Amino acid sequence: MELNINSNAGIIPTSDPNRRLTYRSLYCSVTTERRPCVTILSLAYNHKDPIMYRDKLGVYRVGHLNFYSKLDAIEMHAKTGIHPHWDFNEAVFDSYDWTQEPAASLPELYRQRAQQLRDAYDYLILMYSGGADSTNMLDAFLLNDIKIDELASFHNFTATGDRDSYLNCEIWRVVLPRIQRLEQTHPWIKHRMIDTTALTLDYFSQRDSKFEWIYQMNFAFSPSNVSRESLALKIPEWRRLIDQGKKVGVVWGCDKPRIKHHDDNSFSLHFIDLIDSSVTRNSMQGLLPYNDELFYWTPDLPQIVIKQAHTVKKFLQSVDPETSPWMTLEPNGLANLRHARGTYWLTTHGLHRLIYPHWDIDTFSAGKVRSVVFTPRDTWFFNMTNMEHIKRNWRMGLDKWWQTLPEHWRNNPGDISKNIKCCVSKNYVLGA
């Protein structure tokens, strides 16, 4: 496969060095020649103000040191013997009683979240893939007449020329038909198609991208996902708004609740550090002049995930897992139920119908990827034949990352496609 693409077309440098220096000066850098990777003290976070951003997207704690790069935390683990702890907004979430279900309905909480984000930003961008998470997020705005400035969707048609490829099929079958309908009812909403082809080629054509990029990602190491780093600075119109001093928010439909059923018949919820399919280290560390916002997993409105958790818990307490079409014996990491015949799991469709009241489970879906390293979204990248130096930069970093990982951090020591083990937050007990 050959590609003849100007990889720099429409790409703006990811940061102004002077601005980056200003942001970096906020942090206490420790023993690193490549980047400010660690802090000792964190700024206070006021969860009542969505703009206050420090540590809002999680932090890896190794003793008294805070890391935003998982690999940095793992390297410190090797030196100190202290295992990294992923702290996802514990100071805020610990202040709530998770055994008490919020009185407000899920649609009402989704409305509150949409309004909260609208009030916080001058320009609001929703990342819309056509899947259940982003569709429910979109509906929270539309059904409540809350203004959206722009929708944005990823595709790679330039590279593949195929509307039915893994990444493109949901865009052409779900997103674009929905956008056509919105043009009639909400003509002021912009929709941007972001082609990841040029983003990916540009990112890995840089000389310093061989090894540095592995410290930017914590879970999703596929080429196109890596290239989304500092996304809003790579879109000229968004960059101009930022340079004009506008508060720009990029909102991602992340993520679904994870529920665990324990031996004592109690249930709990936990978070997993798989959010960098939406946000990367620079965003986690607060180094960017705009904000990435997670619609569901947010300390600004914890009632959303608490309500979702109790909705799932009540279903699990009442369901007959042997007969329900929404339960399976195949593990999926979403919500489990211990039973005499084994451990059952709530299916993805089952979860969606519980927490997203307006979602149509018959909506077309490409399904989940089996690997976030060698993802089918990037088949074009793996198969191209005339840009070997770009592929080499990604592969050299990937091999370095794998060699650096101790075996006990690998899901399968002999298979790099199985990725790194996730870090799991503390459990938030929902009660029996």
pLDDT digits (tens, 9 = 90+) for 357-375: 999 999 999 988 889 999 9
Report yes or no on 406 lying in a domain: yes
Region 337-347 average pLDDT: 96
Residue 4's pLDDT is 41
Instruction: Name the residue range of residue 153's domain.
Output: 17-431
Report yes or no on 3 lying in a domain: no
Backbone angles phi, psi at 88, to 5 degrees: -110, 85
Region 11-21 average pLDDT: 29
Residue 51's pLDDT is 47
Report yes or no on 341 lying in a domain: yes
Report yes or no on 412 lying in a domain: yes
Distance of alpha carbon 291 from alpha carbon 335, whole angstroms: 30
Q: Which tens digit of pLDDT belongs to each residue from 32-73?
A: 334 444 444 333 334 444 445 568 999 999 999 999 999 999
Which one has a higher pLDDT value, 14 or 304? 304
Query: Which residues make beta-bridge pairs with 345?
Result: 328, 336
Q: Shortest CA distance to 291 belongs to which of 77, 421, 138, 117? A: 117
Whether residue 179 contacts residue 155, with contact meaning beta carbons closer than 8 Å, is answered with: no
Region 20-27 average pLDDT: 24
Which one has a higher pLDDT value, 13 or 197? 197
Those residues with Cβ within 8 angstroms of residue 398's Cβ, 6 or more apart along the chain or in another chain: 214, 221, 373, 416
Report yes or no on 134 lying in a domain: yes
Q: Shortest CA distance to 290 belongs to which of 254, 240, 255? A: 240
Residue 43's pLDDT is 37
Q: Which tens digit of pLDDT belongs to each residue from 101-158?
A: 999 999 999 999 999 999 999 999 999 999 999 999 999 999 999 999 999 999 999 9
Those residues with Cβ within 8 angstroms of residue 17's Cβ, 6 or more apart along the chain or in another chain: none
C-alpha dihedral (125, 129, 131, 132), degrees to nearest 10: 0
Whether residue 292 contacts residue 252, with contact meaning beta carbons closer than 8 Å, is answered with: yes
The dihedral built from the CA positions of residue 332, 405, 373 and 418, taken in this order, carries a sign that is negative
Task: Look at residue 6 and tell me whether its pLDDT is greater than 70.
Answer: no
Distance of alpha carbon 430 from alpha carbon 432, whole angstroms: 7
Report yes or no on 121 lying in a domain: yes
Task: Look at residue 336 and tell me whether its pLDDT is greater than 60.
Answer: yes
Region 18-30 average pLDDT: 25
Report yes or no on 6 lying in a domain: no
Q: Work out the angle between the directed axes of helices 388-404 and 70-80 (0-180°, nearest 10).
A: 30
- The residue written with tokens 């930069």 in the block is 393
Q: Shortest CA distance to 210 belongs to which of 192, 198, 226? A: 226
Task: Look at residue 2 and tell me whether its pLDDT is greater than 80.
Answer: no
Please tell me the total count of domains within the chain. 1
Q: pLDDT-based confidence at 206, cuts 50/70/90? A: confident
Q: Which tens digit of pLDDT belongs to each residue from 244-285?
A: 999 999 999 999 999 999 999 999 999 999 998 889 899 999
Whole-number average pLDDT of the chain:
88
Whether residue 327 contacts residue 345, with contact meaning beta carbons closer than 8 Å, is answered with: yes
Report yes or no on 2 lying in a domain: no
Task: Look at residue 170 and tell me whether its pLDDT is greater than 70.
Answer: yes
Distance of alpha carbon 98 from alpha carbon 393, whole angstroms: 46
Q: Which tens digit of pLDDT belongs to each residue from 172-194?
A: 999 999 999 999 999 999 999 99
387 token code pair: 């840009």
